[in-house]
Amino acid sequence: MSEGSSSSTADESRHHKGFDSGVFSSVAPMAIERNGPASISTLKMTKSDSNSGGVGSRTFASMCKWSWLPSLIFFTFGIFCMSAALLTDRWAGIRIDYKSGPAVGRSHTMLGFKDLKRLDFFHIFDATMMLSRTLPYTTIINDSYCAEDINGVSKVELDDYPAVLRRIDQVGLLDHDKEVEFIAKHGRVIYDVLCSSIPKLAHDGYVLLTLLPMSFILYFPLIIMCLLRNIFDKTSTPKSWYETIEIVAIITWVISLVLGAIGLTYYWVSVSNPLCVNGFGELTGCVVHSSVVLTLLYVLSSFISLVSYVFYGISVKKGAGHGAVRWTMSGFRRDTEAL
């Protein structure tokens, strides 16, 4: 064989041997040989976790991904409710509407942490008046009014008092004889609340003033932990950091929720006992007021926010929406979007 023929054979062998001189396509999973047919490589397809499962699974995954939003909304609403409950300080009470001749009146007693608030309204002809008074529980307990053993109501006191206003010790809307009978059996009344129940109301107020502020104070470290949790870019932050924050946050949240629920339940059950007197001169439970309703909304909002927080933790664990939260002109968004 000649030298030229040998060189040609070597070049041809080099062109057809393997893929060293070939070109790899970035578009299709195949290797292309020079002067030869394409050799299709084997590609194994796997199903994405985010697309696996049925419609229910994908819906749950999407719900978990965006659950940080209701968590934030209900968390903020809970702060507003508890702030309003503590500031208004109207937990329970009793209201009596009455009519005396041409006058129409209303007596409204409200129980606070440390005092009893009384509002008296009456309207006669074209005139309307409101009288307001606040009596601390300690004053009522220490004053001789509830300490004296009085079994009746003075007839002189009844005659001298203006008919348009109800007396401080009046028992509902009972007449004099039935009033005396009630006092002999149950003791005196101060603004439609039994005198004997004032020490209990003072104790209940102390319990509320201890548990609810403690529950509310725990909300503030929760704010810091929630912010830290959301601003972490979990693709670059060490896993132990945000997992530790989540565990501490959930424990703190549960303690706050339990304290609020215990305080609310304790007070609600307590004032449901027959401590107040209605217009018929009957012992009855005091009616819960705005602060109790606001506290109930606070507890429910805190619970919903916690559940949403846990759902979002599930999505983070599965890798959805794990980028840091950023504020843009169009609102909140995450650096990394999934699902």
Q: pLDDT (tens digit, 9 = 90+) per residue, 247-287? A: 888 899 999 999 999 999 999 999 999 999 999 999 999 99
**337 pLDDT higher than 50:** no
Of 126-130, 140-144, 154-158, the least confident: 154-158
Q: Is 225 left (phi over 0), alpha (psi -120 to 50) or beta?
A: alpha
pLDDT of residue 324: 46
Q: Which pLDDT tens digit goes with each residue over 189-247?
A: 999 999 999 999 999 999 999 999 999 999 888 888 777 766 655 555 566 676 777 78
Classify the C-alpha dihedral 46-49-54-55 as positive or negative.
negative
Strand order in the sheet with 39-40: 23-24, 30-32, 39-40
pLDDT of residue 199: 93
Q: Which pLDDT tens digit goes with each residue over 288-322?
A: 999 999 999 999 999 998 888 887 776 666 554 44
pLDDT of residue 109: 95
| DSSP strand pairing (274-277 vs 283-285) | antiparallel
Q: Which pLDDT tens digit goes with each residue over 22-81?
A: 443 444 444 444 555 555 444 444 444 444 445 555 555 565 667 778 888 999 999 999
* 93 and 287 Cβ atoms separated by less than 8 Å: yes
Strand order in the sheet with 189-190: 189-190, 193-194, 274-277, 283-285
Query: What is the mean pLDDT of the segment spanning 148-177?
Result: 66
Would you call 67 exposed, middle or buried from its count of C-beta atoms within 10 A (0-12, 13-18, 19+)?
buried
What is the DSSP code string of 178-190? HHHHHHHHH--EE
3-state secondary structure 199-239: HHHHHHHHHHHHHHHHHHHCHHHHHHHHHHHHHCCCCCCCH
Residue owning tokens 């929720």: 257
pLDDT of residue 130: 87
* Total residues belonging to the chain: 339
Query: What is the mean pLDDT of the segment spanning 164-172?
Result: 86
pTM of the complete model: 0.71
DSSP state of 49: G
